[in-house]
Amino acid sequence: MVWNKLFDLLGMSEDYDDEDIVITDHSRQDEVAAEIKSSKDPVEPPPSEAAPAPSLSSDEERKERIMRPLPPKAEVVLCRGAVAVELLDDMLTALRQGRLVLVDLGGVEVDEANSVLESLHQTVVASRGALFRVSKTTFLATPVKTACEEWIVEDDTSEGEGD
């Protein structure tokens, strides 16, 4: 009974058909459409970067999500420690390609860390991005300012103290 509820939530109820096997080839970068191995219910692949039509049923919507290709590269690049100094050029290239760069400069000498931050800052300014300090030694470089938002909870008690 519990399993039935779980399968219903996952969209795998009793009417689930094992013959609909979706095979997607993510090795090709030209976003080739998924190949469907079913003779009963052929489904056309969704157009890339298009929002699903509001009239789709939940099964069609699920198939559309499954068939959407994975991004070819990572969206966030993470670099930790002294390796950040060695991989500075690669981080700058990734930033120019529109990817976010999260760098942890813990354990790096101050002069080298400042050099890395200066290079990241120059690249970010050139692309009209932003450089955020996440923690004491961790920084996030974004190629555009809208790629990251900082949410701050304001303290209501500080407003009333000035009266």
Instruction: Note the pLDDT tens digit of each residue in 67-76.
Output: 777 666 778 8
**Of 70, 67, 36, the residue nearest 52 (C-alpha):** 67
Please give the model's pTM, rounded to 2 decimal places: 0.51
Q: 């052929």: which residue's tokens?
A: 42
- Non-local (6+) Cβ contacts of 18 within 8 A are none
Q: Give the residue extent of every domain in the chain.
A: 2-67, 76-147
What is the average per-residue pLDDT within 143-148?
Answer: 87
Let me know if domain 76-147 sits in CATH 3.30.110.150.
yes
Q: Is 73 in contact with 99 (CB distance < 8 Å)?
A: yes
Residue 2 — pLDDT band, cuts 50, 70, 90? low
CB-side exposure of 7: number of CA atoms within 13 Å?
10
How do residues 89-115 score in pLDDT, each as one tens digit? 999 999 999 999 999 999 999 999 999
pLDDT for the residue 157: 66
CA distance 86 to 41: 52
SS (H, E, C) 43-77: CCCCCCCCCCCCCCCHHHHHHHHHHCCCCCCCCEE
Residue 25 scores a pLDDT above 60: no
